[in-house]
């Protein structure tokens, strides 16, 4: 069972979500900056400090086994459902899609460049 009070549970869960989002956001920013530097060199220098962070400091509670805290995924209120949906779309799907598109553009640019070098 969770050994601490609700305030510590909320802080623990918030930190877990925050660090996870920061990690995914860092990977998204890295892929986007690499894509801009490789595919669009004129614009790549403008985006060196690109960053974005998605947070919402509520709706945390104990995990199903009660040994740690995280987002309350089974919350039934409309606010909780919208928060979880927004978190999934904007903090997971969108960054993953951006990473996929960025690396696809990099691969395409490298392939086109290789063909141009071979022709010369």
Q: Tell whether 61 is covered by a domain.
A: no
Q: Tell whether 37 is covered by a domain.
A: yes
Q: Tell whether 30 is covered by a domain.
A: yes
pLDDT band at 29 (very low <50, low <70, confident <90, very high): confident
DSSP secondary structure code for residue 54 in this structure: -
Q: CB-based contacts of 75: which residues, under 8 Å, 6+ apart? A: 59, 81, 84
- How crowded is residue 62: how many other Cβ atoms within 10 Å of its Cβ? 17
pLDDT band at 89 (very low <50, low <70, confident <90, very high): confident
| Domain region containing 34 | 1-41+77-119
Q: What is the mean pLDDT of the chain?
A: 76
Q: Tell whether 107 is covered by a domain.
A: yes
Structurally, the chain folds into a number of domains equal to 1
Q: Tell whether 72 is covered by a domain.
A: no
pLDDT at 51: 36
Q: Tell whether 115 is covered by a domain.
A: yes
Q: Tell whether 58 is covered by a domain.
A: no
Q: 17 exposed, middle or buried (CB, 10 Å; 0-12, 13-18, 19+)?
A: buried
- The region, left, alpha or beta by phi > 0 then psi within -120 to 50, assigned to residue 59 is left
Report the C-alpha gap between 16 and 2 in whole angstroms.
15
pLDDT band at 107 (very low <50, low <70, confident <90, very high): very high
């Amino acid at each position: 069972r969770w050994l601490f009070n609700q305030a510590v549970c909320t802080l623990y869960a918030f930190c877990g979500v925050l660090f996870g989002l920061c990690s995914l956001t860092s990977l998204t920013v890295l892929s986007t900056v690499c894509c801009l530097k490789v595919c669009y060199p004129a614009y790549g220098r403008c985006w060196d400090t690109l960053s974005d962070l998605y947070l919402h400091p509520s709706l945390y509670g104990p995990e199903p086994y009660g040994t740690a805290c995280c987002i309350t995924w089974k919350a039934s209120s409309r606010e909780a459902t919208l928060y979880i949906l927004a978190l999934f779309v904007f903090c997971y799907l969108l960054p993953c899609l951006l990473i996929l598109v960025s690396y696809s553009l990099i691969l395409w640019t490298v392939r086109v460049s290789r063909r141009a070098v071979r022709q010369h």
